[in-house]
Amino acid sequence: MMCASSSTGDLSSLSSSASNSPAAPSPLLLDRYEIRSTLGEGTYGTVYLALDSKTGDTVAVKMIRGNEDEEGIPSTSLREVALLREISHHNLVKLYDIHCKQRHLYMVFEYVQTDLRHLIRRTATTQGGNSASTTSADTAAMAPTTSNSNSTKKDHPVPVGLPADLLKSLSYQLINGLAHLHGHQIVHRDMKPQNILIDQRGYLKIADFGLARMHCIGVYTGTQDVITLWYRPPELLLGQRVYGTEVDIWAAGCIIAEMATGRPLFPGDSEVDTLFKTCQLLGSPTEDTWPGMKNTLTEWRDEFPKWRSVHPFTALRKAIPTDNMPDEGIDMLANMVRYPPASRHSACRLLTHPFFDSVHKQAFEQP
């Protein structure tokens, strides 16, 4: 939605196909926004890059088409508007304005240049030391991060993910944004690299709140088909019906691990495959490692293959052997990517983890 480097921005429901797309609006949309280009279009609408004629700012205008045959504006868009009008934080994408015109909903967002998925692809290096080009923006994003960063020793393995300082900076900002959401009793439910935007200064913005829900004691849902498969926690894969902010913590841990290695932690091609990849790394859950699991996980089967239980730290250190993630970072991840949801650390608690001791936190408070 706000990102230029993806054909669909953070509109995960949009496809790259331009068939049946609406006619381009007039050059001055809503009598204010000068359309510069189309960032993405698909089933539900179109995202335009535009210039705000009143402020001179570059913005992203997300146009959602009303459905004449059904309920009108999709409920996900209405939910996104409702939530973003209630909350504001520098690690959440800003909604500037909304308009309804001719059965269409227009949402005007701040424009953010790239998303985390593309940043990982651009900056990740290989074991052989060959790396994709790193832009000046990527380098600048590392500058305000840590006070005492140590250079990688020559005899250590070459990192295969983001540079250590950038990894720590983005991890802190990601958890900081989640802490604000969770503090307002909001569960995002769709955390993935495509929905995490990065601007040219290295500031991170969580986006796409179409699946977000208010959370009190627990979020009840008739389906567990939320959160993109690779970042979906085991309780949802196994049919748990009541859940809360812990699902975002698991997803964020998977995302941070991916920033460290340049590859997904659990890249399953189905729910069962994702579950089995999780069990292969962490071991199969048992009543000892996940008390009460058989009472809440409706899809668990005793016939599932059994893998030996491994402490999360040991498993994650083996899966993330790169220099850009020190043991302190692995310890933090081990408190995020663990089976019992209640045992995962909250976002507020994670912000105080020693992994972030060297982060210049004030540098990210007023971007």
Annotated binding site for ATP: 62
> Count of H helices and E strands in the chain?
11, 13
Q: Is the CB of residue 70 less than 8 Å from the CB of residue 35? A: no
Q: Is the CB of residue 115 less than 8 Å from the CB of residue 5? A: yes
List the beta bridge partners of residue 50. 35, 59
DSSP string computed for 67-107: BTTTTBS-HHHHHHHHHHHH---TTB--EEEEEEETTEEEE
Would you call 276 helix, strand, or coil by DSSP?
helix
Instruction: Indicate the helix (H) or strand (E) that contains 22.
Output: none
Is residue 190 flagged as an active site residue? yes
Q: Which residue is catalytic, options 190, 199, 208, 248?
A: 190
Q: How far is CA 246 from CA 75, 95, 170, 250, 347, in A?
A: 24, 26, 20, 6, 9
Residue 53 one-letter amino acid = S
Active site residues: 190
